[in-house]
Amino acid sequence: MAKKSPSRRRLTENSLEVGQADGFRTGYDHGYWYGQCDAVRNSIQKISAVWPQHVMFVETGKGFPYSPLDEAVGSTLSQMVAKLTIVNAEQPVAEIALQVRPDIVIVLDGLQFDIKQVIAMKEAGIRTAIWMTDDPYYTDMSVTLVPHYDVVFTLERNCVELYRQIGCPSVHYLPFCASPEQYHPINPEMSSRKEISFIGSAYMNRVRFFNGAAQYLATRNTLISGIWWDRLDKFDLLRDKIKLGNWMDPNGTSLAYNASKIVINMHRAHDDPDFNRNKLAITAASPNPRTFEIAACAVLQLCDVRDDLASFYTPGSEIVTYTSPQDLIEKLDYYLHHEQERREIAIRGMWRTLREHTYANRIHTMLSVLFPHSIPVN
């Protein structure tokens, strides 16, 4: 075997030293960053109140992607009430409720839950509540269901008045949130890291928008994951950056968020002709669950504007918004080149999420509404 010349050997040694130095700096940088994230997470005082009631929780029973919601709500309730009975929408819920006599039956989603069971529980004197998960996209169905419940919670601000107008006596705005157990800062492998990512289905409003940003996204280390993305006009340009038809569970989604410098969030349209059941054309003002989940990972989020978004995060300080493909491109480029500013916004967004927008926060609000005269034990 031919020996390397002294100059080639020195070049190899220098390259190795440079690589080791770069690796050390990268490792130190990421270790320091995740240490900061842990310090913020540990500074948040957890809600410890426990209500002395017996709650029956009716899971959607619809499988993924609703199963993580079932799990998050159920596990949170188990820590916040004296007794919890969990069933799902496919079981004889009314029959079970008549046997165990809970203080309240809380139904999640309810679109596939037989309303006859709600009526049977009401006739037996058992209080019922529902937490709507998909407003306003299925109001054609929800308006026929919610009047049968004693208390209605909806994640969409603009549905509150709608439900009151059709006769619901007690309607409350309760947006979704993040599960810190499912979404939190982690340190992914370097090989999985991206500059920009978007996780979600290619509804037509998203397709039209991404068509306008495709040229820029093609020049960056980008990940797009979800169904229907072959509808893009410039699909071939982005083909190698798209995981087509890929569904991710919370662990996979959290990993993808954490592996990204910037995550794009874009809401679905309230008037999509193919996938909505919203003939009343109720507009959407409230942030989607993804808004809170991205923020919980301490990743910079670029989010499209929704009317009520500023009630949850301060734009420019805890989240960044965009209004057009060109605006998105300019802000992506800016924050990719301003790392410290990007991280400061991201960590403020995580702090706000853990302080105000977790399932513990939401369930605390829900139980306070359902049992206003009860005194929880801390």
Pick from 199, 205, 200: nearest CA to 273: 205
The one-character DSSP state at 319 is B
Q: Please report where in the chains the tokens 């309303």 appear, as a residue.
A: 115
Dihedral angle, C-alpha 120, 133, 165, 311, nearest 10 °: 140
Residues in the chain: 378
Q: What CA–CA distance (Å, rounded) separates 228 from 178?
A: 26
Query: Any idea where the domains of the chain sit in the sequence?
Result: 51-176+359-370, 190-356
346: CB partners within 8 A, 6+ apart: 295, 298, 299, 300, 301
Per-residue pLDDT of the chain (378 residues; tens, 9 = 90+): 555 566 666 655 565 554 455 544 555 567 788 889 999 999 999 899 999 999 999 999 898 889 999 999 999 999 999 999 999 999 999 999 999 999 999 999 999 999 999 999 999 999 999 999 999 999 999 999 999 999 999 999 999 999 999 999 999 999 999 999 999 999 898 899 999 999 999 999 999 999 999 999 999 999 999 999 999 999 999 999 999 999 899 999 999 999 999 999 999 999 998 899 999 999 999 999 999 999 999 999 999 999 999 999 999 999 999 999 999 999 999 999 999 999 999 999 999 999 999 999 999 999 999 999 999 998
Q: Pairing state of beta strands 242-244 and 222-226?
A: parallel
The whole-number pLDDT of residue 65 equals 87
The whole-number pLDDT of residue 132 equals 98
Chain mean position to CA 269:
17
CATH of domain 51-176+359-370: 3.40.50.2000
The whole-number pLDDT of residue 56 equals 98
Q: Please report where in the chains the tokens 């965009």 appear, as a residue.
A: 322
Q: What CA–CA distance (Å, rounded) separates 262 from 294?
A: 10
The whole-number pLDDT of residue 32 equals 80
**Full-model pTM:** 0.91
The whole-number pLDDT of residue 18 equals 47
Indicate if the alpha-carbon torsion angle 257, 258, 264, 265 is positive or negative: positive
Q: Which residues pair with 377 in a beta bridge?
A: 50
CATH of domain 190-356: 3.40.50.2000
100: CB partners within 8 A, 6+ apart: 54, 56, 85
